[in-house]
Amino acid sequence: MEVRFHMEANAAEALRNAEVIVRLAGDGFKQGMFPSAAGAGFPVQLEEAATRFAAKGLFKAEAGETQLLPTLGLTQAEHAVFAGIGGSHTAETLRRKAGAAAARAVRKLKAGSMAVLVDGYVFAGIPECRTAQAAQALTEGLLLGLHSRKANRKETAEETEIAVTFAVPDTEGSGLPSATLSEWEKGMRRGVVFGQATCFARDLTNLPGNMLTPEMLAMEAEQLANGLGLDIEVMDEWTAAEQGMGGLLGVGQGSVNPPRMIVVHYEGAPDDQEKIGLIGKGITFDTGGISLKRADGMEEMISDMGGAAAVLGAMRIIAELKPKVNVVAVVPAAENMPSDRAIKPGDVLTTMSGRTVEVVNTDAEGRLVLADGLTTAIRRGATRLIDVATLTGAVMVALGNVATGAVTNDDTLMQEVVLAGQVTGERIWPLPSFPEYNKLIESDAADLKNSGGRHGGTITGGLFIGAFNESLPWVHLDIGGTAWLDKERGWEAKGATGVMTRTLAEFVLRQDINPGT
């Protein structure tokens, strides 16, 4: 679905031209204390009807709750959707609850246009939420809520379009705190960029394994980079061998589809020596290799390149918003397959860094390719590192599918990443990295072994990757529980969620010493 956003200062005009009208409602609404929007062309009869629903407890205006009413000819729009925002709401409420819930209600109506009425009521109780922040959050919620997985069917429905108009009055007495059309438009446009990049990451992750081999992922990255004017390197298996990428080559050697090392460069501050390295795990399909996974649920392993998708999506945002920061994005891409050529438990690999690894479990393959990914980023000048990976199932045991697990060697960098996640509504939970955990990945046959066993599996998996950071500030994000969902939740879609796309971009944008110049 293609979604187009624009603004209209003439609220009555916006409401007249929409098929569906969305009105936000909170605690004051159910108590009958809310400003009437009759002056903006919203029928008083609909307000009264919704109030009666609220009085009977049928619509409590709680965050994420919606009430659909047919307009019965009271206005040109066929339906009105009241979207609850609750009482003490935040920008995240506008994104996760109101925006996404309203979008799904509208999606069911198969409408081609919707008008979202914005007045001072939207901001009641959240003085810390500036107009631009609210606009971005609401835009992201609507865009991500409207997005759904594309199916490959014999008869495919035509691509639909929906026009979303924000009716934002730019007049005194509107109730908007320092609200101007330019502020709302700035936030809206930023929300569109963030939302579209997340949808891009979702679509990439949702592709079946036969439609996204390592080479195909490299082609997707090339198309993205060329379209945004970014420099890109794609190293094939021969170049990888010349550079000693034993981790990447070892994982990929069992597949007929050879691996690729993908490097995308963004130079926003050429005179600055600082460079952020974003490294995303790109296992385009993971069978577990010789340490074969269970058959049940293995089809979800198309999502094992969710980290790569997040990094590429973040680069899309960065390239469009152009912060004065340097970034190198690295995607080690491979297919983990069992065959007569595949690596075996007990094999020893020599990574690009020169460190050797005893493979005790071929299903712990993501950390092997990320080892070479970190070294690749460092050799291209990265001074701070963030890797993103669907690394372990153990992270779901600890955190479920609610939060992303994190391991670091630098608390300051970790705090910055966590703060970026708080802004985007993507929860990150730091895990300990006590020295005792490193003992679990010591090997008698090599410098390291690639698995420390079940206990502390998310931590030891992260610390294995950290062994290749060359003492640079580093954060590992394990999205094994958050990259894929079995059912919709808030702004997160069923299937690939595109998680960490917006957080990585938000982190990078916050490093710009002269934002907006």
203 annotated as belonging to a binding site for a ligand: no
272 annotated as belonging to a binding site for a ligand: no
d(CA 94, CA 142): 9
363 annotated as belonging to a binding site for a ligand: yes
- Taking residue 256's Cβ as centre, other Cβ atoms within 10 Å add up to 9
End-to-end CA distance of the chain: 34
231 annotated as belonging to a binding site for a ligand: no
Give me the helix-helix angle, 366-379 and 457-466, nearest 10°. 30
Catalytic residues, by residue number, are 293, 367
30 annotated as belonging to a binding site for a ligand: no
Give me the helix-helix angle, 131-146 and 181-206, nearest 10°. 30
- Taking residue 205's Cβ as centre, other Cβ atoms within 10 Å add up to 27
Backbone φ and ψ for 4, nearest 5 degrees, come out as: -115, 130
Q: How many helices (H) and strands (E) does the chain have?
A: 17, 20
- Taking residue 384's Cβ as centre, other Cβ atoms within 10 Å add up to 20
d(CA 191, CA 178): 19
d(CA 240, CA 352): 9
259: which 2 tokens?
A: 């691996």
Give the three-class secondary structure for 438: helix
**Residues annotated in a binding site:** 281, 286, 304, 363, 365
**Residues tagged in the binding site annotation for Mn(2+):** 281, 286, 304, 363, 365
